[in-house]
Chain A
């Protein structure tokens, strides 16, 4: 005897049924088998094929000639053959009747009934009168017996089939038949198999039943189902990463809400009130509430810085309006927060940073949003000047993983000198940050008498470049699936060369 063959629960069930119902060795059509076992034929075929693939049974597809009842045959079976009905009618009429009287009962089939009954010797016709020659119980058509045999699924002999075909009671059809061969006693087969299951369960383990079973082999390379999980948002994580880098570099975090006085966003930063950015074309103004209170102590010095200049400057020489400075806006840069920090006149050495949303009047498209995030840093210590600022920027960019970067001269209203920082990402130079030394007019208006370096960077563009996102709106995706399934680019956070 061969080795143990693993089978499924249903395969086992078929073998057990064979044994229980005493189906011995031999050939069975699936139909026959289904009838013997009292189960569905399609189930028998499917399971027998699986057992055949394991060499326990054999399944053969055979083609054979069969006969199918015609509609007429079915009608004869249920209503009686015409000759049988003729006999019944004659018996009711006392054994004799003129043909004319019979037409009412048999209609168009009278002719067929008379000729068949006469041929079979059940009736004799003479002078237009039919006379019964047999008892009604004897008049059973041979064809009926043959048809019933066919219905029971039994084979017909050559002559029998010919008889039926002549009367158009059957049609010949080619039939496919599944034949199951049981090669040995099913009881023996049962001894050779062991049931295989898909998974262990608590019940199997707790009851010790697991011993009866073996575990099905898996296609271990098949794709598993996708898991639904909780996720931190990748863009939020990128912002946290920037925070960590700033903290590592000795910066202390500060923050302020994005609703700001024009004063802190522009005036303190020495941006003249007629500057083109200070208009509803670039800056969002508030309708509710419209105005805020200016910080009393600073207003006069900021006015002088603009109108006549401070700290050796000639200023912008125009009439500065406190009403305009008191208007509320959505901050256009996080430097407004840095300005507020400086107004507290921190004692050097210090490094502060903030990350927050900023707002600009921009039409929404793949590259622009009316709101985005900025990081802004300020620093002062002994020897702070442009080269040290470049040193901080270089360190920052290196810690973000950039090894190729450069600085170019630039202009910002509130810093001088000013530079822009560029990094190379996938062969492309990309402007990422602006920096400079705060202007003396601004510092003096705030009462700060030491040099302060400042820099700011938009976060979205960098996140897009590093995360391979082409549309800025995808950073604010409402498609939870895309957030959940976006692979994390953990190496961005490693600080090693990108």
Chain B
């Protein structure tokens, strides 16, 4: 979740509230508010609300809640006189839109907030600039009102990147600058890369970096925004959120339209047109479990800065501001009503029905097995399901092709899901040699990859380590367990396992289909693990007890 940092002074100034009250209002807008150890205010804004990634956006909502404003905020739109011409086919990053906002009047503090706003948009909507990237420029530094967006060979284009003292080729920018290293591959197409020109001056190479020439700094008055990306809607949404957020800071709240000429069409944005939506009050009442009239619903929505008009008893016509990109279904308006009412004012209502609860059938087998094992002196352990792949094979005897492997593990020790409990039990024994005799067990799900996909098995691992611990010691435990669970061993044969001694290893089956392997651990294996006591163990597969757990469609 995006965490935004603001100075307490700015919070009070923009929200026009004493700090404590400001924090309380923020919480009602589902913002988690905290004062950090350095005194800064930290607002944790939910990802669906990029319109509140700037203080002015939060204030816009707070004004509604506090009754200072209602309905749609008004932004004046006029032609900026700026045009972006898209030349050729910029297939790697086809969409570009732009806007102008006047009288933003940047100072030190606001510059930091502006950069924060931009960064949080990049991370949340922009997929770390993959889908959308934003360039913010000092309007008055743009050399020309005509801009060009096209692919250019990276060795030919030269400019001074923002924050770097020297001119370099685009190729060098991609290679040598930090931003180049991080974002240089996103829009690179062979030796070509998108470039945005103002006249014949490079002002940006989206999504990597702007040019020094249009740097925004304290004293900058008017702002030019460009937004590029791979998803048309996200590019437009981002532009709306940004333009409205910046306009909130200016007195006139005037947004300048920029014409984008593409070979196939010409679009002028940001038109900031509100979207129409209807909300049925019956639906809203049912979703909340609270009876609402159309008038009440409309009043709540007006407070949340929508235009809302009751059409009849059951219907409210709503206008959604363009920057509220989270509102995609009437249910999102229901949430707005909830925020206006306040969750604290919605009394919990106990469910009316009496229904019969039930645990899965094998849960009861597990519970009884656990009690019996505890009665036999065994301690239950709970361990991680992410394990070392190699040990599953070498100690556990799992075939490598059966392993469920991660593509992006944290490290080699957690790169596979366990297919057997034996390696972990033996490692546990190695770590507990000061507690002889050791008797432990674990119940867990094990997973193996097979022809028909991944197969899960209900598994019980049991281990005995003692001055003397042999086949009979583990056999007695398994037989006792099976017998006392009302089952019986129907078949038992000698078996092989890479970690168990030949001739002291068996596989068995019970009447109810439970399978187990049990035996004495080879001294070679014990020695390799640094274990100096004999160990006997068993792995019981009780999948046959489990019921098909998820109802299938």
* B357 & A417 in contact (Cβ 8 Å cutoff): no
CB nearest neighbor in A for B377: A230
Interface residues in B346-388 by Cβ distance below 8 A to A read 346-360, 363, 367, 370-371, 373-386
- Report chain B residues within 8 Å CB of A381: 351-353
* B343 & A409 in contact (Cβ 8 Å cutoff): yes
* B48 & A349 in contact (Cβ 8 Å cutoff): no
* A274 & B432 in contact (Cβ 8 Å cutoff): no
- Interface-located stretch among B3-11, B93-101, B219-227, B287-295: B287-295
* A480 & B550 in contact (Cβ 8 Å cutoff): no
- Report chain B residues within 8 Å CB of A128: none
Smallest CB–CB gap between A357 and chain B, Å?
6
* A385 & B286 in contact (Cβ 8 Å cutoff): yes
Bound CA span A293–B551, Å: 18
- Report chain B residues within 8 Å CB of A228: 377, 435, 437
Task: Decide yes or no whether A388 CB sits under 8 A from chain B.
Answer: yes
CB nearest neighbor in A for B343: A407
Interface size band for A: 35 or more
Bound CA span A159–B152, Å: 127
Task: Decide yes or no whether B403 CB sits under 8 A from chain A.
Answer: yes
CB nearest neighbor in B for A351: B355
Bound CA span A263–B297, Å: 36
* B449 & A288 in contact (Cβ 8 Å cutoff): yes
Interface residues in B494-542 by Cβ distance below 8 A to A read none
Task: Decide yes or no whether A43 CB sits under 8 A from chain B.
Answer: no
* A257 & B456 in contact (Cβ 8 Å cutoff): yes
Bound CA span A328–B405, Å: 11
CB nearest neighbor in A for B290: A387
- Report chain B residues within 8 Å CB of A220: none
Task: Decide yes or no whether B233 CB sits under 8 A from chain A.
Answer: yes
* B382 & A480 in contact (Cβ 8 Å cutoff): no
* B346 & A370 in contact (Cβ 8 Å cutoff): no
**A416-B332 CB under 8 A given contacts A253-B363, A451-B286, A480-B435:** yes
Interface residues in B373-432 by Cβ distance below 8 A to A read 373-386, 401, 403-410, 414, 417, 427-428, 431-432
Task: Decide yes or no whether B124 CB sits under 8 A from chain A.
Answer: yes
* B30 & A441 in contact (Cβ 8 Å cutoff): no
**A257-B131 CB under 8 A given contacts A230-B378, A252-B357, A345-B553:** no
CB nearest neighbor in B for A437: B287
CB nearest neighbor in B for A343: B553
* B382 & A233 in contact (Cβ 8 Å cutoff): yes
* B334 & A274 in contact (Cβ 8 Å cutoff): no
* B381 & A233 in contact (Cβ 8 Å cutoff): yes
Bound CA span A255–B440, Å: 26
* B553 & A280 in contact (Cβ 8 Å cutoff): no
- Report chain B residues within 8 Å CB of A230: 373-379, 439
* A386 & B288 in contact (Cβ 8 Å cutoff): yes
* A289 & B231 in contact (Cβ 8 Å cutoff): no
The one of B233, B359, B550 that contacts A340, using a Cβ cutoff of 8 Å: B550
* A390 & B351 in contact (Cβ 8 Å cutoff): no
Bound CA span A357–B385, Å: 9
- Report chain B residues within 8 Å CB of A384: 289
Task: Decide yes or no whether A478 CB sits under 8 A from chain B.
Answer: yes
Task: Decide yes or no whether B46 CB sits under 8 A from chain A.
Answer: yes
- Report chain B residues within 8 Å CB of A318: 231, 233-234
- Report chain B residues within 8 Å CB of A483: 379-381
Contact with B along A358-382 (1 / 0, CB 8 A): 0101011000011100000001011
Bound CA span A390–B403, Å: 42
* A313 & B447 in contact (Cβ 8 Å cutoff): no
Which among B127, B344, B348 has the highest number of chain A CB atoms within 10 Å?
B348
CB nearest neighbor in A for B47: A411
- Report chain B residues within 8 Å CB of A249: 357
Smallest CB–CB gap between A267 and chain B, Å?
15
Which among A288, A357, A369, A451 has the highest number of chain B CB atoms within 10 Å?
A288
- Report chain B residues within 8 Å CB of A287: 405-407
Contact with B along A314-334 (1 / 0, CB 8 A): 111110000000001010000
Smallest CB–CB gap between A3 and chain B, Å?
46
**A292-B453 CB under 8 A given contacts A344-B552, A391-B351:** yes
CB nearest neighbor in A for B434: A481
Task: Decide yes or no whether A299 CB sits under 8 A from chain B.
Answer: no
* A388 & B386 in contact (Cβ 8 Å cutoff): no
* B551 & A284 in contact (Cβ 8 Å cutoff): no
* A286 & B381 in contact (Cβ 8 Å cutoff): no
Bound CA span A383–B282, Å: 12
The one of B348, B358, B373 that contacts A253, using a Cβ cutoff of 8 Å: B358
- Interface-located stretch among B14-22, B241-249, B250-258, B323-331: B323-331
Bound CA span A176–B543, Å: 79
Task: Decide yes or no whether A198 CB sits under 8 A from chain B.
Answer: no
CB nearest neighbor in A for B373: A230
Task: Decide yes or no whether B217 CB sits under 8 A from chain A.
Answer: no
Task: Decide yes or no whether A135 CB sits under 8 A from chain B.
Answer: no
- Report chain A residues within 8 Å CB of B454: 257, 259, 289, 328
Smallest CB–CB gap between A186 and chain B, Å?
47
- Report chain B residues within 8 Å CB of A351: 355, 357
- Report chain A residues within 8 Å CB of B417: 258-259, 330
Contact with B along A232-268 (1 / 0, CB 8 A): 1101100010010011111111111111000000000
- Report chain A residues within 8 Å CB of B449: 288-289
CB nearest neighbor in B for A357: B385
* B550 & A337 in contact (Cβ 8 Å cutoff): yes
Bound CA span A361–B401, Å: 24
Bound CA span A402–B318, Å: 40
- Report chain A residues within 8 Å CB of B363: 243, 253
Bound CA span A443–B29, Å: 26
- Report chain B residues within 8 Å CB of A254: 360, 549-551
CB nearest neighbor in A for B32: A408
Task: Decide yes or no whether B487 CB sits under 8 A from chain A.
Answer: no
- Interface-located stretch among A60-68, A81-89, A210-218, A392-400: A392-400
Task: Decide yes or no whether A231 CB sits under 8 A from chain B.
Answer: yes
- Report chain A residues within 8 Å CB of B130: 274
The one of A236, A274, A383, A407 that contacts B380, using a Cβ cutoff of 8 Å: A236
**A391-B335 CB under 8 A given contacts A230-B375, A231-B380, A385-B289:** no
Bound CA span A395–B130, Å: 44
- Report chain A residues within 8 Å CB of B131: 274
Bound CA span A344–B440, Å: 39
- Report chain B residues within 8 Å CB of A343: 553
Task: Decide yes or no whether A418 CB sits under 8 A from chain B.
Answer: yes
Smallest CB–CB gap between B439 and chain A, Å?
7
Smallest CB–CB gap between A59 and chain B, Å?
44
Task: Decide yes or no whether A229 CB sits under 8 A from chain B.
Answer: yes
Interface residues in B99-146 by Cβ distance below 8 A to A read 123-124, 127-128, 130-131
The one of A344, A479, A480, A484 that contacts B553, using a Cβ cutoff of 8 Å: A344
* B352 & A395 in contact (Cβ 8 Å cutoff): no
Sample 18 A-B pairs with CB under 8 A, ordered by A number: A256-B550, A257-B456, A289-B404, A312-B330, A318-B231, A341-B551, A344-B551, A371-B385, A382-B352, A385-B286, A386-B290, A387-B289, A408-B27, A409-B29, A409-B335, A478-B431, A479-B431, A483-B380
Add 12 more A-B contacts to A243-B359, A287-B405, A481-B435 (CB < 8 A).
A230-B375, A230-B376, A274-B127, A288-B401, A344-B550, A370-B386, A387-B346, A387-B347, A387-B348, A417-B288, A419-B343, A483-B381
Query: Which chain B residues have a beta carbon within 8 Å of chain A's beta carbons?
Result: 27-30, 46-49, 123-124, 127-128, 130-131, 231-234, 285-290, 328-332, 334-335, 338-339, 343-344, 346-360, 363, 367, 370-371, 373-386, 401, 403-410, 414, 417, 427-428, 431-432, 434-435, 437-440, 443, 445, 447, 449, 453-454, 456, 549-553
Top 7 A-B pairs, shortest CB-CB distance: A387-B289, A385-B289, A250-B355, A411-B46, A247-B357, A390-B348, A257-B456
Query: Which chain A residues have a beta carbon within 8 Å of chain B's beta carbons?
Result: 228-233, 235-236, 240, 243, 246-259, 274, 276, 280, 284-290, 292-293, 295, 297-298, 309, 311-318, 328, 330, 337, 340-341, 343-346, 349-351, 357, 359, 361, 363-364, 369-371, 379, 381-388, 390-395, 406-411, 413, 416-419, 437, 439-441, 451, 475-481, 483-484
